[in-house]
Structure 1
Amino acid sequence: MAIDTDSARTAENLLTVRDMRGEIFPSEIFDEHAWNMLLRLFVAEASDEAITAPDLMALTKTPPAVGQRWLAHLVADAQIEPYSDGGTITLTRSAVDRMNLFLRRAAGVHESDGPA
């Protein structure tokens, strides 16, 4: 599973922008826990960092009960590999490939941005 370094940088930038958004607007209106989890896992895997469920929920500011439901859904949807309690959570090969594709396209959109 190769993660494109440019895609990883784009994912990090998206997370930074999402964090800034949360500082300015009430975070309750942007509850996208699953997407935040996928982005965090992508960035972590690009950096060879191991992430467990509690780590991921802390990083994404997701309440544990909500996070567990989303993790179960992401496993069922084949976005993340099945994992054991306390084990490392990783994206599936298919999810990595789709994230690389999405992030390359997203980077292209941002590159076309004109002056602010």
Structure 2
Amino acid sequence: MNEEAVVSLIKDLTSRLSAVAEEFSGRVERVDAPTDAAPDMTVSLAQKARTLSDQRRLRRRSLPAELFHEPAWDMMLALYIAHDEGRVLNVKSLVACADAPVTTSQRWIEHLHKLRLVNRVVDSVDRRRLEVSLSQNGVEAMESYLSALP
């Protein structure tokens, strides 16, 4: 199998997995929706972040990914969502969210750390791994931005 065929296969699989994830996300939202209470018309900041992240994935399915290459923004969205869910991401997971080469993503993690938007700590169980989370500055910056969205 040549390189073009492998790339095409990976893009096709990515597209299919995104479609499956969107379908399950919709099902979860329908199951979680309150049935007897009045619907809550406010959208949480975390839901805004999830919507932005979903829109970015959807955009990559229709248009060339290099048109919208912003690994730092993809990582900030993923970190905010993880923060809302009480999770911490390791570098490998965060790199996967960025849809960028590992070295590029690692440089962005370093830059976000220098800007004091993220914290990096050594995993207490596996000392070879680094855990990354939003710093307080990062949380505040994301909340400021997400609050300003309609």
Is TM more than 0.5 here? Answer: yes
Question: What is the identity, as a one-letter code, of the residue corresponding to 2:96?
Answer: A
Who is 1:93 aligned against?
136
Question: What is the identity, as a one-letter code, of the residue corresponding to 2:120?
Answer: P
* Aligned counterpart in structure 1 of residue 51 of structure 2, from 13, 18, 22: 13
Within the alignment, does 1:77 sit opposite 2:108 as a pair? no
Who is 2:96 aligned against?
58
Aligned-residue offset at 1:82: 3.2
Extract structure 1 runs of 4+ deviating beyond 4 A.
none
Q: How does 1:3-42 map to 2 (within 5 A)?
A: 6-42=44-80
Distance across 2 between alignment mates of 1:82 and 1:56: 12
Percent identity over the alignment is 26
More strand by share: 2
Deviations 1:44-66 (A, max 9, x none): 11011221000111122221110
Question: What is the identity, as a one-letter code, of the residue corresponding to 1:104?
Answer: S
Deviations 1:51-84 (A, max 9, x none): 1000111122221110110011011111101333
Aligned-residue offset at 1:104: 1.2
Who is 1:111 aligned against?
none
Aligned-residue offset at 1:20: 0.7
Tell me which moved more, 91-100 or 76-85. Answer: 76-85
SS in 2 for 1:89: strand
Contact 2:118–2:135 under 8 Å retained in 1: yes
Question: What is the identity, as a one-letter code, of the residue corresponding to 2:132?
Answer: I
Give the paired residue count.
103
Distance across 2 between alignment mates of 1:73 and 1:54: 17
TM-score (norm 2): 0.65
TM-score (norm 1): 0.83
